[in-house]
Amino acid sequence: MTTPHDCDPPPPEEAVAAIAALNESYIDAARRGDASWFDEHMAEDAVIILGDGRRLGKADFLAATGQGARSFRTLTVHGATVRPFGPTVQVDADAPWELDDGRVGVSRYIDTYAWIDCRWQVISAQITLLPPSASS
């Protein structure tokens, strides 16, 4: 039998470790165009703001991801910062990438996770495309 405390969010140090691992999985899923990962880890009412300014709900984001809008040759993470705020955690970082067609760039992002239904779920993501000279 579970008690209400079984679903309490983990303490900050555990939250940071969990979100850091989820962040790596998030980037791996983005690199592969793995919509199923996002379907599993994203809250139903999540909001995603893309680098071009489009605001997507979960269903539209999953459709775009499943269509493989971008084909990444590489996509990595640099300078990730994970900040817990009780049952909410934010992670921000830069994600340098290269597409299969040779285009390169850096996306700066901030993702917000919330402790919902006894697990961490993405509730929002915002991705900003950096100009070529602003990678710091």
Domains of the chain: 4-129 (3.10.450.50)
Nearest to 27 by CA among 103, 115, 104, 125: 125
Q: Give Cα 29 to chain centroid, integer Å.
A: 9
Three-state SS for 136? coil
**Alpha-carbon gap, residue 10 to 53, rounded angstroms:** 33
Q: At which residue do the structure tokens 């303490």 appear?
A: 11
Kindly report, residue by residue over 35-76, the tens digit of the pLDDT.
999 999 999 999 999 988 999 999 999 998 877 556 889 999
Predicted confidence (pLDDT) at residue 133 exceeds the cutoff of 80: no
**Alpha-carbon gap, residue 65 to 5, rounded angstroms:** 36
User: Is residue 80 within 8 Å of residue 20, measured between CB atoms?
Assistant: yes
Which helix (H) or strand (E) covers residue 128, if one does?
A: strand 119-129
- Concatenating the DSSP letter of every residue in 35-103 gives HHHHHHHEEEEEEEE-TTS-EEEHHHHHHHHHTTSS-EEEE--EEEEEEEETTEEEEEEEEEEEETTS-
Kindly report, residue by residue over 67-126, the tens digit of the pLDDT.
755 688 999 999 999 999 999 999 999 999 999 999 999 999 999 999 999 999 999 999
Per-residue pLDDT band for 1 (boundaries 50, 70, 90) equals: very low
Per-residue pLDDT band for 5 (boundaries 50, 70, 90) equals: low
Q: How many CB atoms lie within 10 A of CB 31?
A: 17
Measured over the CA atoms of residue 35, residue 36, residue 39 and residue 41, the dihedral's sign is negative
